[in-house]
Structure 1
Amino acid sequence: MGRPRLHDKDLPPRVYRRHGAYYFAPNGKGMAWIRLSDNKREALAKWAELVSAPPSPGVALAELMNRYLVEVAARKATATHAGNLQESKALLAVFGHMRPEDVRPVHVSQFMAIRGQDAPIRANREKALLSSVFAYAIRWGLVETNPCRDVKGYPEKGRDRYITDEEFAAVRALAGEKIGLMMDFAYLTAMRQGDMLALRVDQIEADGFTLAQGKTGKRQRFPLVPVLRSVVDAALRLHPELKSRDTLFFSRTGQPYTSDGFKTMWNRIQQAWAAQGGERFTWHDIRAKALTDAKRRHGLDAQALAGHATSAMTDHYIKRREIEEVTPLPTLPGAEY
């Protein structure tokens, strides 16, 4: 077994990021590395073509899971792909040795009952992954039914955290110049973390920039309105001692942030904020604040800003954070009007 990764934990086995591009290292001594692409989505798709090998009926579920991770999960957004890799570990520990056709709803129910004692939400995510694996296995002709279909998950409460302006300003001051600029950028654009970290300098033109969302593929054009231009210009002035940079925001070494690296850094900031008595919030909560404020304060098209396919998806963010003003009854019972 190879050594565990210290960096690029979001990448599949034997795929590495070097000099702004992605490479595949074949499993053989002295074999030359294969350049995949400088675009992560394209690189993972090419990697999947190189290593995929369809399992035959009757194989262990571990092989079916591996095919899914190679052909399906690798094409998902970075955070989703990383989540699937993590979720697969618990599933493989329980179901990996079983033949897919031998997995029954009772087995999934037992897994949920035990896993849900300590981590009910995680259990839901793992069941969702297992269900998706079986859905593809049906498509591939390897099984006839999905044992997860009728197994209920645990109830989840939708997140309704709204960051106040005062909280945003306080954490921004605590975070320092670079992360503060990233917070400003994330708020003004309502951009997902992965898209923001992947934004390249060469995408930024005089009047704006265009990107394709990593999660949905939807293309968006962001004009450089004055406040956004000032944030971008300030970010471009960071670390002038570096001779080159690929992305607008980058680590101390000039390399793009990894998802895990950025998460660790943001967690340290939130720990410091909590130590001061503040209520912690996630980076994704900044996106929710941006969409809520876009609609409530500025009358903007929050759906277009979010890049959602439907208004219902945007309302999922906004409605939980909007506070409806109500009118109390004007009198007590029996009082004269």
Structure 2
Amino acid sequence: MWNHARGWGYTDLPNPCEGIQGHSLAKRTVYITDAVFSAVRMYGSAPLRDAMDLAYLTGQRPADALRMTEQDIIDGHLIITQEKTKQPLRITITGELAKLVERIRARKATHKIVTGALLTNIHGKRLTAPALRTHFDAAKKRASKHVPELAQDIMAFWFYDLRAKAADDTSDDRGDQAASDLLGHDSVKTTQRHYLRRGKIVAPTK
């Protein structure tokens, strides 16, 4: 910003940040195991279970999952344009994702309120980010109480970690390129650098 101000003629003083060493954050390495995922999901509300499943199965960011609507389902695909990168994706609605969409529609049908959003709260209205956080935190606390042996891992669970779990699990099943495609990355190296947290499966020397 200071450099912009110099260019606009607001100041001719040198940038006070010059020479200050930058600080880089360490890469997050937490992998959410199936046991931790299941524990939180078990003690979560119906809206949270839908949100967890949708975020995991599509590999999308929480904000993108919250924006998904019925209108995004076209010709058997879930059409996504990622807010952060504007990357377009078409995720085939098959397998567990198809079952999830039917479950979501069945739950929405029990409410008089009509909304196009796929993720809704307990009243049938669009699920918001603050409400998702409240549901998620409450589920983690209940899960920690009932599954104490996993309490530490449960409390370390961030909702955003589901994107990395989707990447890791897809990579194990179908390879790094498939994981990169699901996350909407232009380069598989981005997926490998930031989202694959478990390492490659390799054989021993002998």
TM-score, scaled to structure 1? 0.52
Q: Which residue identity is paired with 1:226? A: G
- Tell me if 1:208 matches 2:77: yes
CA distance in 2, matches of 1:134, 1:291: 39
Rate the CA distance shift 1:262–1:136 in 2: closer, same or farther, 3 A. farther
CA RMSD of aligned residues (A): 2.6
Structure 2 counterparts to residues 260-275 of structure 1, below 5 A: 260-275=130-145
Q: Which of 132, 156, 159 is the equivalent residue of 2:25?
A: 156
Q: Which residue of 1 aligns with 2:194?
A: 317
Rate the CA distance shift 1:325–1:197 in 2: closer, same or farther, 3 A. same
CA distance in 2, matches of 1:258, 1:134: 36
Query: Does the Cα contact within 8 Å between 2:47 and 2:122 map onto a contact in 1?
Result: no
- Tell me if 1:301 matches 2:178: yes
CA distance in 2, matches of 1:150, 1:135: 14
Rate the CA distance shift 1:135–1:255 in 2: closer, same or farther, 3 A. farther
Unaligned runs of 5+ residues in structure 2 are none
Q: Which residue of 1 aligns with 2:104?
A: 235
Query: Does the Cα contact within 8 Å between 2:81 and 2:87 map onto a contact in 1?
Result: yes
Rate the CA distance shift 1:214–1:324 in 2: closer, same or farther, 3 A. same
CA distance in 1, matches of 2:3, 2:122: 43
Q: CA deviation at 1:242?
A: 2.3
CA distance in 2, matches of 1:291, 1:197: 19
> CA offsets, 1:229-268, max 9 Å, x none?
1101101111422231131112234332332232222122
Unaligned runs of 5+ residues in structure 1 are 1-132, 331-337
Q: Which of 51, 54, 58 is the equivalent residue of 1:189?
A: 58
Q: Which residue of 1 aligns with 2:168?
A: 292
Query: Does the Cα contact within 8 Å between 2:78 and 2:92 map onto a contact in 1?
Result: yes
CA distance in 2, matches of 1:245, 1:308: 30
Q: Which residue of 2 aligns with 1:217?
A: 86
Query: Does the Cα contact within 8 Å between 1:246 and 1:255 map onto a contact in 2?
Result: no
TM-score, scaled to structure 2? 0.82
> CA offsets, 1:44-85, max 9 Å, x none?
xxxxxxxxxxxxxxxxxxxxxxxxxxxxxxxxxxxxxxxxxx
Residue 172 of structure 1: SS of its match in structure 2? helix
Rate the CA distance shift 1:138–1:316 in 2: closer, same or farther, 3 A. farther
Rate the CA distance shift 1:324–1:229 in 2: closer, same or farther, 3 A. closer
- Tell me if 1:199 matches 2:68: yes
Q: Which of 124, 127, 136 is the equivalent residue of 1:254?
A: 124
Query: Does the Cα contact within 8 Å between 1:197 and 1:257 map onto a contact in 2?
Result: yes
CA distance in 1, matches of 2:185, 2:123: 34
Q: CA deviation at 1:282?
A: 0.5
CA distance in 2, matches of 1:172, 1:164: 12
Query: Does the Cα contact within 8 Å between 1:292 and 1:317 map onto a contact in 2?
Result: no
Structure 2 counterparts to residues 77-116 of structure 1, below 5 A: none
Rate the CA distance shift 1:140–1:174 in 2: closer, same or farther, 3 A. farther
CA distance in 2, matches of 1:227, 1:215: 26
Higher Rg = 1
CA distance in 1, matches of 2:75, 2:28: 38
CA distance in 2, matches of 1:152, 1:242: 57
